[in-house]
Amino acid sequence: MKKVLVTGGLGFIGSHTVVELQNEGFEVLIIDNLSNSSIEVLKRITSITGTKPAYFNIDLKDKVAVQQFFATNKVDGIIHFAASKAVGESVQKPLEYYENNIGSLVYILQEMKANNLNNFIFSSSCTVYGQADELPITENAPIKPAESPYGNTKQIGEEIIKDASKISDLKAIALRYFNPIGAHESAKIGELPIGVPQNLIPYVVQTAAGIRKELAVFGSDYNTPDGTAVRDYIHVVDLAKAHIVALKRLIENKNKSQYEVFNLGTGKGNSVLEVIKSFEKVTGKKVNYKLVDRREGDITAAYADTKYANEELGWKSELSLDDALLSAWKWQQTL
């Protein structure tokens, strides 16, 4: 049985990926310091799959702790999710973001080199493209100057991995996510924002549930069909499955180069108002919203060209926007 380390494995995307790994017969080890997650998620993963993953409460900024972990645990692959991820907060706390997101990545890569571990999947983001010149966005689209320290940590992270792969046997895939939403069909795991949600879908479901008074729709004068910003919303379970496909690609030596990049999206853009309408349709719940000014750092539109991921990686999204929004609502109702 192949062993896989998942850092940030109790987070939103991490927990869904752990479930899919276990479903595919992998033995999973989780590192998570609970800075933006809950230990309760470990029980919920176990109740879905029937298998409890090994769990380590380690802060990846602690170099000695990282060294000790790798000295005593041999793994066949690493999926690295652990990172701070709020765009707005990163503008307020840039140094904390660089320390956490870059420092932890470097320590893991150093230990991989020291212990001759080679298979690495990096959780990256479509933020690296900024406002792309052309839509849909291919993997060859130019990397734009980052709009936030968070986005910059993903750009720098990719560069570090690429450099490391040149001087070692490291094989790495950076997966550039578009907008992950939704929840597992069991409604036992989902997106659990601590405090006021920074992302659209948790805010939509909390507004529908009466937790928030109304949803602010940032910007209604964009150059889009209805004036609101357009994004590529991908079901988190589809996204999780892509990590397993990518990991197997490395383990089976099917990669075409030591460092590869794939976009993970549906290939379809939806506006904020379309998302609200879809949510209201599948749930029968009304969402109070108001149109307000644009938010700094937001782009007009982003959606993926999925051809390369579909054909070369052999993965494609299967679940719809309606599926994702209904699952997010079911998850909210369990909270």
Q: Average pLDDT for consecutive 10-residue bins of the chain (335 residues)?
A: 98 98 98 96 98 98 98 98 91 96 98 98 96 96 93 97 97 98 98 87 97 97 98 98 98 98 98 98 98 90 98 98 98 95
What does the domain layout of the chain look like in residue ranges? 3-181+233-264, 200-231+267-333
The DSSP bridge pattern shows strands 230-231 and 301-302 to be parallel
Q: Is the pTM of this model over 0.85?
A: yes
Active site residue 107: no
pLDDT value for 193 = 78
pLDDT per residue as tens digits for the range 4-23: 999 999 999 999 999 999 99
pLDDT value for 105 = 98
Q: In CATH terms, are 3-181+233-264 and 200-231+267-333 the same topology? A: no
CATH number (3.40.640.10, 3.30.230.70, 3.90.25.10, 3.30.365.10) of 200-231+267-333 reads 3.90.25.10
Q: Which fold, 3-181+233-264?
A: Rossmann fold (3.40.50)
The span from the CA of 207 to the CA of 202, in Å, is 8
Q: Which of 55, 97, 129, 150 is catalytic?
A: 150
